[in-house]
Structure 1
Amino acid sequence: MSPKLRLMQAALAVAVAATWVWLGMVLAISFLEAPLKFRAPGVTLQLGLGIGRLVFRALNTCEAVLAVVVAAGLAVGGGSAGTWVAAVVAAAMLVGQVVFVRPALTRRSDQVLAGADGPRSRAHYGYVALELVKVVALITTGVLLLTG
């Protein structure tokens, strides 16, 4: 096997791993940790929001790094057009969350942390919708990478 072919295979293997790690992180944080933290004894709304802000900032940072790793793996490994489309959709959902939705969530959590009452932010629904699309895109990316 030529060194170039080995490099391409290794790059795609890294893209596979990064895709599934990214998916696992999203599922664990967004769909498990986030809702459960508010059910823990002694966790107030303010405390939960403070924790959530830290956790989601860290998650989004890790996601951005993983998105770059996936893109690099696809670029070096010669990923298919369908794999690229799915990966770009996942990355675009992340950008949408960070650029468009998180600022609204931050404004609302700032208000709550300052003691304001009021209805729950509708921005949460937008974040969850983008998260669901991202999950489907990551599963698609991972499956396409594995099936070749």
Structure 2
Amino acid sequence: MNTPWAAVAAATAFVWLGMVLAISFLEAPLKFRAPGVTLRIGLGIGRLVFRALNRAETALAAVLVLAVAAGGLPAPVVVLTGLVVGLLLAQLGAVRPVLNRRSDRVLAGEDVPRSRTHLVYVACESAKVLLLLALGVAALSV
């Protein structure tokens, strides 16, 4: 077991956690409360912000996997890493495409009903927060 790799894993998990908290639970809901921000403008901004977040998350996931693999870290860290990376892949592969199709329609001017898929995304983000917190703590305990 290599403790510098555990430190890299912990730092990566906590940076990722901070980004998810800041974007998903602070920026995303607040932008719709700003004066003059319509649904269409908010969705346009949100798509850009979440595309950037997802790219950063993908890079952080790669660093995390590398640190865990290189460091020979204990099973709890490996399992939590697999869960958080798997959750990210599910969001990117299954949930985000559905949300993007809906936002395409809204941005094109269609009147579309509210989507429950957004609640699925929020649930995934909430689970990701818990997993990243647990992962960071587990990696610090190495």
The answer to whether the superposition gives a TM-score over 0.5 is yes
In structure 1, stretches of 5+ residues that fail to align are none
* 1:70 counterpart residue number: 64
SS at match of 1:57: helix
Q: Structure 1 runs of 4+ off > 6 angstroms?
A: none
* Percentage identity across paired residues of the two chains: 57
Instruction: Quote the Cα distance in structure 1 between the aligned partners of 2:74 and 2:3.
Output: 13
If the length of structure 1 is used for normalisation, what is the TM-score?
0.92
Q: 1:122 aligns with which of 96, 109, 116?
A: 116
Q: Number of residue pairs matched?
A: 142
Aligned partner letter, 1:135: V
Any conservation in 2 of the 1:11–1:77 contact (CA below 8 Å)?
yes
Partner deviation per Cα, 1:18-69 (whole Å, 9 max, x = no partner):
1100000001000000000000011111110011001101101100110111
Provide the aligned C-alpha RMSD in A. Answer: 1.1
Instruction: Quote the Cα distance in structure 1 between the aligned partners of 2:114 and 2:79.
Output: 34
Deviation at 1:85, TM superposition (A): 0.7
Instruction: Quote the Cα distance in structure 1 between the aligned partners of 2:99 and 2:24.
Output: 14
| Residue 101 (1) aligns with residue 95 (2) | yes
Deviation at 1:118, TM superposition (A): 2.7
In structure 2, stretches of 5+ residues that fail to align are none
Deviation at 1:119, TM superposition (A): 1.7
* 2:133 counterpart residue number: 139
If the length of structure 2 is used for normalisation, what is the TM-score?
0.95
Instruction: Quote the Cα distance in structure 1 between the aligned partners of 2:115 and 2:104.
Output: 12
Higher RCO (CA-CA < 8 Å; seq separation 6+): 2
